[in-house]
Structure 1
Amino acid sequence: MSEAIAILAGIGLAAACGFRVFLPLFIASLAVQTGVDGVGGFELRSLLGDSLPWLGTMPVTIAFGVATVLEVGAYYIPWLDNALDTVSTPAAMIAGTLVAFAFFPGIMDDGYLKWAIAAIAGGGTAGVVQGGSVAARGTSSATTGGFGNVVVATTELIGSVVTSILAVFLPLIAGLLAIALCAIVITAFVRIRRRIRAKA
Structure 2
Amino acid sequence: MNLVLNLLIGIGLSAASGFRVFIPLLIMSISALSGDLILAENFEWIGSYSALSVFIVATIIEAAAYYLPAIDEFLEKISKPATMVAGTIIMSSFIVDLSPMLGWVLAIIAGGGTSALVNEQRLESKKNSITANTINLKSLLFSTREICSAASLSLLMMLAPITSFLVFFVIVVLLIKQIF
TM-score in terms of structure 1 length: 0.82
Change (3 A) 1:145 1:182: closer
Matched residue, 1:73: 64
Distance 1:107 1:138 in 2: 41
Find out whether 1:93 has 2:93 as its counterpart. no
> Shift of residue 173 of structure 1?
1.8
Aligned residues between the structures = 179
> Shift of residue 142 of structure 1?
2.5
Distance 1:80 1:141 in 2: 17
Find out whether 1:152 has 2:142 as its counterpart. yes
Question: Aligned-pair RMSD on alpha carbons?
Answer: 1.9
Find out whether 1:161 has 2:151 as its counterpart. yes
Distance 1:187 1:100 in 2: 27
User: Could you list the per-position Cα deviations for residues 120-153 of structure 1 after superposition, in whole angstroms to 9, with x for gaps in the alignment?
Assistant: 1111111111111112222344352333111101
Distance 1:187 1:114 in 2: 33
Contact 2:122 2:175 in 1 (8 A): no
Contact 1:25 1:99 in 2 (8 A): yes
TM-score in terms of structure 2 length: 0.90
Contact 2:40 2:94 in 1 (8 A): no
Structure 1: give runs of 5+ residues left out of the alignment: 38-43, 192-200
Distance 1:179 1:108 in 2: 26
SS at match of 1:108: coil
> Shift of residue 74 of structure 1?
0.5
Distance 2:56 2:135 in 1: 31
Find out whether 1:58 has 2:46 as its counterpart. no
> Shift of residue 187 of structure 1?
6.5
Distance 2:118 2:49 in 1: 29
Distance 1:49 1:176 in 2: 24
Q: Pick the structure with greater CA Rg.
A: 1
Structure 2: give runs of 5+ residues left out of the alignment: none
Distance 2:75 2:56 in 1: 18
Q: What code does the residue aligned with 1:76 have?
A: Y
Distance 1:187 1:78 in 2: 26
